[in-house]
Structure 1
Amino acid sequence: MVTPTTWEFAGTRGAVTARVWAAPEPRYVAVLVHGYGEHLGRYGHVADALVRHGATVCGPDHMGHGLSAGERVLVEDYEDVVADVHTVVEAARGDHPGLPVVMIGHSMGGLVAARYAQLHGAGLALLALSGPVLGRWHVVEELLPLEEMPTDPIDTATLSRDPAVGLAYSADPLVWHGPFRKRTVRALDAALRRVNEHGSLGALPVLYVHGEADRLVRPEDSRVGVEAVRGPGLTERLYPGARHEVFNETNRDEVLADVTAFIDRVLGG
């Protein structure tokens, strides 16, 4: 497995740590955008598959997440997260001028990636969304009216049919295991509405993948957002029985093969 390097930059709300998995002779750059409460270190196997496919892979730990600075999981405005992702993309372009850039966003990272594509889609070759928080999210709708955030931890059984995934998640000290921040919930609500209202991604090729048995980010809710941003270049795959983290599911090899096949179809190769 490829060992990543890290670098730090001054993000919009404090120091942000980014990871890079370098390929010796890359033919494209893949930018990974992770989900709520986690960090990019959980994506080593995804990065390894992409590096073997010909990518240099990079991405940040979002503010308040993983190795980056900030109060844990506090996001005041998701436009700031998008701006930090843009810093990573521009750095990758500087290191690899002329290479196409693909973006892969999971869960909350799918919301960030979709918004990035709305603002900077002309600079992307394609977008892949995995179990994206788009359209509406029942978690936000349930938490928004509450003054106090519940302290119940996430049910790790919702992540994958592979029990080792939940065990690793629970034991990971860089994963946030506490409650939502109320300001983050408000920011998520604003970001969902903003993406819905902004509209289609136009001709940008988009791959949408989702586990049919995902109860953490329900496919029927994400469908609302996918329909709001879709253009003529949408390809989708729903995996029967799969839960939220399709890159960590028992059929992860199939999912990763679908992603790399989509990249080949768009980029050629």
Structure 2
Amino acid sequence: MGSLLDNSLQIISNTTGKSLFVRLWPLSTAPKGIVYIVHELGGHCLLYDVIAARFLEAGYTVASHDQYGHGLSSGTRLHTSNYQTYVADTLQCLEEVKCQYQDTDNVLLFGHGVGGLLAALLAAQNPGFVKGLILHGPIFKFLEEHASTVNVCWYLSYVLPLAYSPVNGTDPALLITDKDQRMKYARDPFIWHEGPRLSTIHAVTTAMGDLEQVEEPLSCPTLIQCGQDDQLLNKTNLTAWSKRCSKTTKLLFYEGAKHYLHMDTPECTIKVLDEMVKFCDVVRSEAASDTDDAVGSEAASDTDDAVGSEAASDTDDAVGSEAGSDTADD
């Protein structure tokens, strides 16, 4: 892969040789950190320009890619037999971006919807890799009202993997509050408007089970932001899941908002974006403080070792000198 700093749009190959579209929003100065965006199922990375713009303004560089079978990446639209492929692709692209910014290890991961499930899985399976996690309307479990339909999709996926699922969450009216943003979403040619295939429902359900099996889902600070009127969100499951996280997890609901918080009313969007930047700044500050404490502790240890060594040397010298004096007297 060539330098993303020289070309902010690139096509790279994943580990299986498939083409992935990567987007970098670079800074001309050293960034506070890297924010990596994981888009919603059926979406694409350029749908998050407003989030990228806000983080650039705050001093962070931003990157993302279109998942396999999405946007400008190759592959059958919304078809995957293994959700871990998405996790592996994201990890690969994020590693590539980190190579462009070797002076920073402050990596923050943003995931939206089913992309939030992917982000949480990546963080849980790679402890310490990301410093913080931001999730918008993460879907960790399907709604109970869809349970029987999901079960049917699961079994049918073995014989009809490319058939479309009746579980379709792409209606703009269900997703977005602002009417102008709804129209923009409905006309976006890179959004998959047909809904997921049966194979993908199977893969996503398996991934949900994988996350559920993790004893401590997250070891990093996490900000979860949700629309109060998000009709795709299983709030009961999400609330219970957030309480299992081992570090500070902040769960916020925005009144009147739906699934796409960054495409909501201007007032809501500004509030959401400001909260995201504030969270990342706090994570960065705490990480720097931890590093300073570690360095200070190591320096103190080195000083103690040096003092101990010097004291031992002085004692040895004194004992040797005294023994020599006694011998001379004899």
Superposition TM-score, scaled by structure 1 size:
0.92
In 2, distance between residues paired with 1:220 and 1:243? 17
Partner AA of 2:239 in structure 1: R
Q: Larger Cα Rg: Structure 1 or Structure 2? A: 2
Aligned residue pairs: how many?
Answer: 265
1:24 aligns with 2:28: yes
1:201-228 deviation line (CA, Å, top 9, x unaligned): 4541011111111002233343344345
User: Partner residue of 1:9?
Assistant: 12
Cα 1:91–1:207 shift into 2, 3 Å: same
User: Partner residue of 2:152?
Assistant: 145
1:173 aligns with 2:192: no
1:264 aligns with 2:271: no
Kept after mapping to 2: 8 A contact 1:121/1:201: no
Q: Which deviates more, 178-187 or 152-161? A: 152-161
User: Partner residue of 1:252?
Assistant: 269
User: Partner residue of 2:249?
Assistant: 234
Q: CA deviation at 1:62?
A: 0.3
1:6-36 deviation line (CA, Å, top 9, x unaligned): 1122124511111000111212111000001
In 2, distance between residues paired with 1:233 and 1:152? 33
In 2, distance between residues paired with 1:81 and 1:219? 25
Cα 1:120–1:153 shift into 2, 3 Å: closer
User: Partner residue of 2:61?
Assistant: 56
Q: CA deviation at 1:138?
A: 4.9
Q: CA deviation at 1:166?
A: 1.4
In 2, distance between residues paired with 1:144 and 1:5? 42
In 2, distance between residues paired with 1:225 and 1:199? 11
In 2, distance between residues paired with 1:105 and 1:202? 14
Kept after mapping to 2: 8 A contact 1:214/1:244: yes
Question: Can you give the 5+ residue segments of structure 2 that lack an aligned partner in the other structure?
Answer: 1-6, 157-162, 287-330
Q: CA deviation at 1:151?
A: 8.8
User: Partner residue of 2:223?
Assistant: 207
Cα 1:157–1:218 shift into 2, 3 Å: farther
Higher strand fraction (1 or 2): 1
Higher helix fraction (1 or 2): 2
Look up the SS of the partner of 2:62 in the other structure: strand
Partner AA of 1:18 in structure 2: V
Q: Percent same amino acid at aligned positions?
A: 26
Kept after mapping to 1: 8 A contact 2:142/2:234: no
Q: Which deviates more, 199-208 or 46-55? A: 199-208
Partner AA of 1:143 in structure 2: V
Cα 1:151–1:265 shift into 2, 3 Å: closer
* 2:174 aligns with one of 134, 138, 158: 158
In 1, distance between residues paired with 2:116 and 2:169? 22
Q: CA deviation at 1:265?
A: 1.2
Look up the SS of the partner of 1:144 in the other structure: helix
User: Partner residue of 1:103?
Assistant: 109
- How do 1:31-110 and structure 2 match up within 5 A? 31-99=36-104, 100-110=106-116
Kept after mapping to 1: 8 A contact 2:127/2:219: no
In 1, distance between residues paired with 2:57 and 2:96? 22
Look up the SS of the partner of 1:59 in the other structure: strand
In 2, distance between residues paired with 1:74 and 1:39? 15
Cα 1:143–1:255 shift into 2, 3 Å: same
In 2, distance between residues paired with 1:153 and 1:217? 11
Partner AA of 1:7 in structure 2: Q
In 2, distance between residues paired with 1:90 and 1:116? 12
Q: Which deviates more, 145-154 or 219-228? A: 145-154
In 1, distance between residues paired with 2:209 and 2:49? 32
RMSD over aligned Cα, in angstroms?
2.0
In 1, distance between residues paired with 2:223 and 2:38? 15
Cα 1:157–1:202 shift into 2, 3 Å: closer
